[in-house]
């Protein structure tokens, strides 16, 4: 949604989300990323960090269900998918999707992942954002710190050749994050979806083929 609460309903992406049944306009950011990089290819075990209000989970479920049919062959058949969403906020239920209310930066969450997925994860998504204070510099540093926590989690739980997508903010420590991120993946892309607000400094890091 737009920052101006009085005008957010005029936003075309907001209106489109309402028509198509998505919980938020952010669904189109993930759809843009998928269209560009095909991140859901053969993804059956998927973790969504900072999943509130659930629009990314809605998109994820759609592609996971499609994959059951699409990759039904002798080489890569799966009978089911596993999707886990995590957020400190309450998220309304979505059928066949598990949602955990907790802070994913807490050490105990590592145990939750291990027991839930029973193996490595195909795709980790994060549209998580720190609570903005209005100070762009402070918010940027907090978001970068969050991104490092997500990257460490991916190092442990993301499978070989898996995919990581996460939101960050451009600013003074952005280049340092890129330098840390890059060695972990064969391909690193930075992408600002068409549905992102032009004035926003948000950008998405897409790590393809984890080493």
Known active-site residue 142: no
Catalytic entry in 167, 182, 192, 211: 167
Nearest one of 133, 121, 62 to 94, comparing CA atoms: 62
Query: What residues are annotated to the active site?
Result: 167
């Amino acid at each position: 949604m737009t920052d101006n609460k009085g005008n957010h309903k005029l936003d075309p992406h907001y209106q489109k989300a309402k028509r198509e049944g998505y919980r938020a306009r952010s669904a189109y950011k993930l759809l843009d990323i998928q269209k560009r990089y095909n991140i859901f290819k053969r993804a059956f075990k998927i973790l969504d960090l900072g999943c509130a209000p659930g629009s990314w989970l809605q998109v994820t479920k759609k592609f996971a269900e499609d994959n059951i049919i699409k990759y039904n062959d002798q080489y890569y058949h799966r009978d089911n998918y596993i999707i886990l969403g995590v957020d400190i906020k309450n998220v309304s239920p979505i059928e066949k999707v598990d949602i955990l209310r907790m802070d994913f930066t807490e050490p105990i969450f590592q145990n939750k992942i291990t027991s839930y997925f029973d193996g490595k994860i195909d795709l980790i998504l994060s549209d998580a954002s720190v609570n903005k204070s209005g100070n762009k510099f402070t918010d940027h540093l907090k978001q970068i710190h969050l991104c490092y926590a997500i990257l460490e989690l991916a190092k442990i739980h993301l499978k070989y050749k898996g995919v990581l997508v996460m939101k960050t903010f451009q600013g003074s420590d952005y280049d340092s994050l890129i330098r840390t991120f890059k060695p972990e993946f064969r391909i690193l892309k930075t992408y600002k979806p068409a549905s992102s607000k032009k004035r926003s400094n948000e950008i998405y890091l897409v790590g393809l083929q984890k080493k």
